[in-house]
Amino acid sequence: MIKRNNKVDIIQLVGISKQYGGKVVFQGVNLRIQSGALVVLRGESGAGKSTLLNIIGGLERPSAGQIMVDGRSVLELTARERADFYRNEIGIIFQGSYLQPQFSLFENITLPGVFAGMPAPERKMRAERLAQMLGISDNLSFLPSQVSGGQAERACIARALLLSPKIILADEPTSNLDEANAKIVLEILNYVRAQMGVTIIIASHSRDVLQFATQVINLANGAVVEVQNLGVQAANVQSANPGVVISGLSSVTHQNNNIQKMNQEVATGGQNVALGQHAAVNQSNQVQNLGEGGEAMYDAQGNL
């Protein structure tokens, strides 16, 4: 059993231009993003990072150009296909941990399942497992205002992951976090990429995110000025290990208990989930020790 097929262009942008009134945000952007990559969109404020992310996510229409996501033209989706697109293809993490303040973290995380018509027990199971993986199990009943920024951001990640999307778009996921929490969130995103084969695109001006990037795209003056293909480096190989990720979750002191409990659960359930191929390169080295953590929560397709 393997994770999603990697090394395929999951996103293709062809001649994308965007204007607001007379103002050109970017012109003729061409990009190819491989499945399983962690792409960082960099640039000064106003360079169009968020806009490009919104365009990839179908939240904004480009003035010109074509966007193909997983072989489908985002601009030609019907209303029904668009809903399915958000349910199956893309998970979006908005800037500033946008959670519904009147709902508990659990309700926030399960919202995509509600719209997708997922049965309540399955929603609950998925949410609890994701919360366990992300170290917010004890906070599920809390309102967003009652948890820290880092925990809220993790809830956003869990929400984005609930329906097992192929791509996650994250707009400045660490902008409101302190250094420690920002690191944890980035490690989690990298972990998700490594374990589920999810393609992650992060719009950020933070330097911290670069250590996890497999590809860095620099935007400036309405154009892509540089594309750096970094591959997977030693640092993110290390942090793709859930033990390392979870050890960083300072606010969750009994995470190890959760992992043990999860392992017991998996063992007693007779599940034997094979380790997937790693996202980009060096698979055999990178997936060491994964049997001790959250990878057992995914099936052959990388689904929960």
Partner 1 sequence: MTLREIFRLSHRELVAYRTRSVATVVTVGALFGLLLMILFAVQGLENIVFRYARDATGGEVFLVSDYKDPDLVRERIQEYDGKIVIFSTEELEKLGGELPETTVVAKFTDLKKAYAYYAKGDKTEWGYDSEKCQIEEIYSNQMGVYRYFREKNQDLVWPVTVVLVIVSAFILAFTMAHLIASSTKTFVLYRSIGATRGQLLMIYFVYLMELCAASALFAVAVALILAGILTAAFWNYLSTQLHEFYPEASSFWPILIGVNWREMAVLVSMFMVAPVSFLLCLDQFSNKKIAQKLKGD
Binding residues for partner 1, per CB under 8 A? 20, 51, 54, 57, 59-61, 79-80, 82-84, 86-87, 90-92, 94, 98, 100-103, 111-112, 114-117, 159, 163
Residues 207 and 79: their CA atoms lie apart, in Å, by: 38
**Closest approach of Cβ 5 to partner 1, in Å?**
23
Does residue 12 sit in helix, strand or coil?
Answer: strand
**Closest approach of Cβ 51 to partner 1, in Å?**
8
Nearer to partner 1, 219 or 237 (CB): 219
**Closest approach of Cβ 95 to partner 1, in Å?**
11
Note whether 216 and 42 are within 8 A (CB): yes
**Closest approach of Cβ 192 to partner 1, in Å?**
17
**Closest approach of Cβ 32 to partner 1, in Å?**
23
Instruction: Write out the H or E segment, with its range, that includes residue 274.
Output: none
8-state DSSP, 26: E
Note whether 105 and 144 are within 8 A (CB): yes
Number of C-alpha atoms within 13 angstroms, CB side, residue 75?
A: 14
8-state DSSP, 78: -
Residues 213 and 204: their CA atoms lie apart, in Å, by: 11
**Closest approach of Cβ 25 to partner 1, in Å?**
10
Nearer to partner 1, 60 or 138 (CB): 60
For 47, residues 6+ apart whose C-beta sits below 8 A from its C-beta are: 219, 220
Please give the full DSSP string across 128-185, using - where no structure is assigned: HHHHHHHT-GGGTTS-GGGS-HHHHHHHHHHHHHTT--SEEEEESTTTTS-HHHHHHH
Q: Of 261, 198, 178, which is closest to residue 36 (Cα–Cα)? A: 198
8-state DSSP, 254: T
**Closest approach of Cβ 164 to partner 1, in Å?**
12
**Closest approach of Cβ 159 to partner 1, in Å?**
7
Nearer to partner 1, 94 or 298 (CB): 94
Nearer to partner 1, 95 or 247 (CB): 95
Nearer to partner 1, 203 or 296 (CB): 203
Nearer to partner 1, 61 or 261 (CB): 61
Q: Of 170, 41, 154, which is closest to residue 93 (Cα–Cα)? A: 170
Nearer to partner 1, 89 or 187 (CB): 89
Nearer to partner 1, 84 or 128 (CB): 84
